[in-house]
């Protein structure tokens, strides 16, 4: 049991610094146009993810096409505000923090609607640092830019 917890914990702890450092590094790459993908989870709700990093856009397209199954789940820091491309939800992923994972710690796992219903609690014990890593997330299609 301890081994099951340690591996995801180690993976998530290594991902957190990358999420924090992603903003300055990706700022230079934001000249490339953003790409938009529909993400779903076990609830079958749909959530639009904007991705600005060209390498991550490439990975997302490979996931959607079935070219890869590696790192199939989405992780990133959320912003507690609506985004025009994701109007149904009161939050969105900060595009410069979006990444992908195989396993992550439980503390950042939730479903899309659960985050919406508990958004006022996000950033405290629920989704510390506003890091959201839905374990059942997967990208289902790319959308045209709005």
Over residues 44-78, the pLDDT tens digits come to 999 999 999 999 999 999 999 999 999 999 999 99
Looking at residue 31, its pLDDT comes to 55
Q: In the chain, where are the structural domains located?
A: 2-143
Over residues 105-135, the pLDDT tens digits come to 788 999 999 999 999 999 999 999 999 999 9
Q: Please, what is the average pLDDT of the chain?
A: 84
pTM (2 d.p.): 0.78
Q: Please, which pLDDT band fits residue 93 given cuts at 50, 70 and 90?
A: very high
Pairwise CA distance, residues 28 & 58, whole Å = 17
Please state whether beta strands 122-123 and 126-128 pair in parallel, antiparallel, or not at all (unpaired): parallel
């Amino acid at each position: 049991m301890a081994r099951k917890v340690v591996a995801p914990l180690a993976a998530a702890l290594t991902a957190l610094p990358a999420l924090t450092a992603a903003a300055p590094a990706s700022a230079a790459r934001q000249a490339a146009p953003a790409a938009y993908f529909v993400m779903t989870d076990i609830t079958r709700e749909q959530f639009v993810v904007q991705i600005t990093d060209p390498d991550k856009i490439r990975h997302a397209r490979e996931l959607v096409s079935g070219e890869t199954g590696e790192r199939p789940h989405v992780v990133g820091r959320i912003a507690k505000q609506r985004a025009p491309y994701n109007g149904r939800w009161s939050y969105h992923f900060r595009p410069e923090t979006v990444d992908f994972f195989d396993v992550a710690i439980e503390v950042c796992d939730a479903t899309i609607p659960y985050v919406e219903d508990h958004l006022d609690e996000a950033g405290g014990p629920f989704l510390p640092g506003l890091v959201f890593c839905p374990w059942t997330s997967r990208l289902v299609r790319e959308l045209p830019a709005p």
